Structure 1
Amino acid sequence: MGDFGSRVRALLAERGLSIRATARALNYDPAYLSRVINGRQQPSKALAAGLDGLLEAEGALVSLRAPEVRPPEPGAERPTGVDGDIAHMRASVAHLLAHDNRYGGGVMAPAAVQVWRAEQRKLDRGAVPERARAGYLSAVAELAEIAGWLLFDSGRWDASRTAFLESHLLARQAGDRTMEWFALDMLAMHDVQTGRAGEALRIADELLTRPHVPPRIALLARVRRGRALAQVGDHRRALTELEGARAGLEDSISPRDPAWAWWVNDSEITGHEGEALLAAGEARTAIPKMRRALELASAPFPEGRGTLYYSVALLSAYAAAHAWREGEATLVSINALLETVTSVRSRDRLHTTLRVMAHRPHVPPSLLDLMRHTAKAS
């Protein structure tokens, strides 16, 4: 990875590009890109390919990227015991997230729960040596968090909340503050989704008042706080919180940021701004935000989960604004995505939006036909 980072730095210097400008062009978080270039994190295939194309490296960066960790061949030497279990958990997390980014959590949630529960049973039996207990707890906490996220995307709200709560408890037992913060953020996200605005506000306030919380964690807390305020009708303060989160997006980059926070980027903030505006009844103002969030989210995975999520969000904004021509074009693209993306959360929102649209006046007949087709097919 050192060769990869050195080569990227040299190419950036040759072309007069900064890390921030490069991250913006590829829709990646600058902090994540910085960690990769400085050898602190493995570049994904998508990032290596994106950098290769942007910097016109003709395949050099793709070839320099370290190969992914794959299961060893039968008979090959592999970690055993607790070390092997932890290695298996880390590899499982990477595999589950890669699949989720492309196809959504519907199919992978049961597999994530199975891996999480199997490893947690070893903890419950006391089968983990004390010397390895903290590392094992941390790895299981991450698995529980990933399982919670996939269950969340599958629309299994109660099971998802249970997994996030378990992740928080395990992280505290492990003394893993970064994973504890992650679990709290996921719980606040869950509360916003399920209408527990008061609970989301309490979690956000807890994170914002804790000492030594990294800037990016504070930024996320402001996002959750903004969405919760929008839910309770305090739209002015909601938008102020989200504006503050946006202002702090680049300033929040810090060596103390946890590795998992790389996904907090312009697309994420823009999408939340759009949602808050939509909740405030400002659909026309929300539309450009939703369009931009979709544009940014679709750059790395044009047919992925994020593209479906923001396409449905954009359709909701068009429906609220009675923008039927634009809504019809968006629904056509959504139908293509539904063939591969299994995100139940996005599909449920799509069905809700279609029901709302069906009761709007002056919906064109061609759009009504497409809506009926989509409802049956999904």
Structure 2
Amino acid sequence: MAEPGEFGRTVRASLQHQGMTIRGAARALSYDHAYLSRVLAGKQDPSPQLVEGLDRLLNAGGELVDMAARLAADGAARISHALANPSRIDARAVEALSDILAAQRRLDDIVGPTPMIGPTEAQMDSVKGLLRAARGPHRDALIEVVAESVQFAGWLYASTRQDALAVRRLDEAADLADEANSGTLAAQACNFRGYIARQQGNPRGMVRWFSAAYHTPGAHPAQRMGDAAQVAQGLGELGEMDQARRLLDEAMALEDAAKDQPPGTAYWLTPSFQRLNLGLAHLGLKEYDLAADHIRSGLQGLPADHQGAEWAKEHQAALARAEAHR
């Protein structure tokens, strides 16, 4: 949960993923082991210097600093009050929960999905419990946070090829998105099901799920552009070339509208990322020159932390495949 212990859970999971003990981290940072243990157990607030040191040690790109700042003072107090009094949750507490989830999602891009699963599941369970007891005018906003939290857990499982767990979470996320009346979250849950199908080498499943995302009412144009391109990829791999080109044309028709700021729940859908989607579509159509050009340009245009993200390996492999057939 996005409470003071959340920082410690995230750091402990990241240390474990990198094969480092708390004692080893304390020694590397020249801190007392007992002090670091208390901080990571949520029993003592970390100093700014410790947070910055842990961020550097774990190559977190400033995201641990951001998370600690969001949990400091007012945010942590509001979240603790909401946990103790769920029926009186207020807008600032919901905002604090959303901010911590956003920091977790950015950490996934930097440290990878595996160390984020435990902290994300802990947060998800707590916000789901909070939702069950919540009352009042801010409950609807809380539903969106819960839906995104469950969806993010589904993404982490999909990223680590724990497909059954991913599907279970994404189905739950889709139901919560409908309860929240959020077309963007509902479309994203379907999109992640399409991603799973692609990892499984199942082009028919890709067409089914990316089509569902593309046609979800309320989806953002940036989502719909990417979904249409990925439908085209699946159709191309099935040999349905005419239909694939039609969907690719539909994706390109959304290009101008897709340049608007993407929704925060799909923050990665920048014009550079769309080049990756277009490249995969051309790869499905066996248009290798175009595929390579789009994917290379897309990778080069990503932020530095995204270029090293676990999910980017798929696109790097797709680029190598396209170049091998040129």
1:263: which partner in 2? 268
How far apart are 1:163 and its partner, in Å?
1.3
1:156: which partner in 2? 162
Aligned residues: 253
How far apart are 1:294 and its partner, in Å?
1.9
How far apart are 1:167 and its partner, in Å?
0.8
SS of corresponding position for 2:168: helix
One-letter code aligned to 1:258: P
**Which residues in structure 2 correspond to 1:1-378 (within 5 Å)?**
69-73=69-73, 77-79=77-79, 80-81=81-82, 82=86, 83=89, 86-87=94-95, 89-123=97-131, 126-129=132-135, 131-206=137-212, 208-209=214-215, 213-253=219-259, 258-297=263-302, 299=304, 301-305=306-310, 308-320=313-325
What is the alpha-carbon root mean square deviation over aligned residues? 3.5
Cα pair distance change 1:275/1:226, threshold 3 Å = same
TM-score by length of 2: 0.64
Q: Which runs of 5+ in 2 are unaligned?
A: 1-65
Q: Within 2, Cα distance between the matches of 1:129 and 1:213?
A: 28
One-letter code aligned to 2:258: S
One-letter code aligned to 2:126: A
How far apart are 1:116 and its partner, in Å?
0.9
TM-score by length of 1: 0.56
SS of corresponding position for 2:70: coil
SS of corresponding position for 1:102: helix
Contact 1:149 1:160 in 2 (8 A): yes
Cα pair distance change 1:214/1:283, threshold 3 Å = closer
Q: Within 2, Cα distance between the matches of 1:195 and 1:140?
A: 30
One-letter code aligned to 2:263: P
Runs of 4+ residues deviating >6 angstroms: none
Cα pair distance change 1:285/1:76, threshold 3 Å = closer
Contact 1:201 1:225 in 2 (8 A): yes
Q: Within 2, Cα distance between the matches of 1:75 and 1:173?
A: 26
Contact 1:138 1:176 in 2 (8 A): yes
Cα pair distance change 1:251/1:72, threshold 3 Å = closer
Contact 2:226 2:274 in 1 (8 A): no
One-letter code aligned to 1:104: G
Contact 1:72 1:78 in 2 (8 A): no
Contact 2:233 2:285 in 1 (8 A): no
How far apart are 1:240 and its partner, in Å?
4.0
Contact 1:192 1:224 in 2 (8 A): no
1:253-276 CA distance string (max 9 Å, x none):
568x63334422333232233323
Contact 1:102 1:303 in 2 (8 A): yes
Cα pair distance change 1:92/1:295, threshold 3 Å = same
